[in-house]
Amino acid sequence: MQRRHEGRRILVTGAGSGIGRGVALRLLAEGATLVAADIAETGLKETVEAADAADRDRLHTVRIDVADPESVRAGCASALNTLDGIDVLVNAAGIMRAAHTHEMPFEDWNQVIGVNLTGTFLMCRAVLPRLIESDHPVIVNFSSTAAFGSNPYMAAYSASKGGVNALTHSLALEYVKHGLRAVNIVPGGINTGITSGLQLPADADWKLMARLTGWLNNGALGDPKDIAGVVAMVASEDGRYITGSEIRVDGGALM
């Protein structure tokens, strides 16, 4: 394993499950000092248990509800204090609510936008003043193939991820003179809590869902490790010429 993140101070949201956990463990294994944040404290405990014993003294946790401005303020203050600054922010917290668009409850729409899009904004806003003090500041945000292909029954989710793309592009240019890089990761279907908990409408037409998985691995869902290695590259100096753009990691689903 390379040690590209030795001495780097990193905050990862959604680190209590799936992709966020995979990313946190990979960055930790590459030498980072890391705060794993999530709304679910049981998930954070499992992430700590999954870390190599030799890495655990560099792993800290904090409960943050990314959709709640006060929770973000307090949680980020605590994380920045623990890390004594920050070099990389990874926004992997996210939720999905599927429905026919004409039946989608207003509350579900707002919750999806609130966590996926507003949550990403709130986290960036909270850490940016300290992040741009870093020599090599990086923000990695999570988009989805849902924002590029057409995913039925997922209008709120797709719209939230389209918003994340635009938010990331704005950040990349606005803070480029501070040396900040901001990149969107665009996963296809990955085997995590979001996909195992996916509840489509009872009469959903599965033929419309053909592009949920890629062509690699005989069409099986990807693994969080498939994403974690890419994030580790992007957030390291190996990714130093990547900003304001997307990296699609979908097994070829959209080709």
**Contact region with ligand NAD (CB under 6 A), list: 25-33, 35-43, 124-132, 202-210:** 35-43
Q: Does 13 bind ligand NAD (CB under 6 A)?
A: yes
Shortest approach of ligand NAD to residue 225 CB, angstroms?
Answer: 12
Q: Which of 95, 126, 230, 234 binds ligand NAD (CB under 6 A)?
A: 95
Q: Does 92 bind ligand NAD (CB under 6 A)?
A: yes
Q: State the catalytic residue, choosing from 153, 157, 175, 241.
A: 157
157 is catalytic: yes
Q: Does 214 bind ligand NAD (CB under 6 A)?
A: no
Over the window 113 to 142, marking each residue x when it contacts ligand NAD by CB under 6 A and - when it does not, the resulting string is --x---x----------------------x
Largest CA distance in the chain: 52
- Total binding residues toward ligand NAD, as defined by CB under 6 A: 30
> Please, which of residues 139-178 interact with ligand NAD by CB under 6 A?
142, 144
Residues annotated catalytic, as ranges: 157
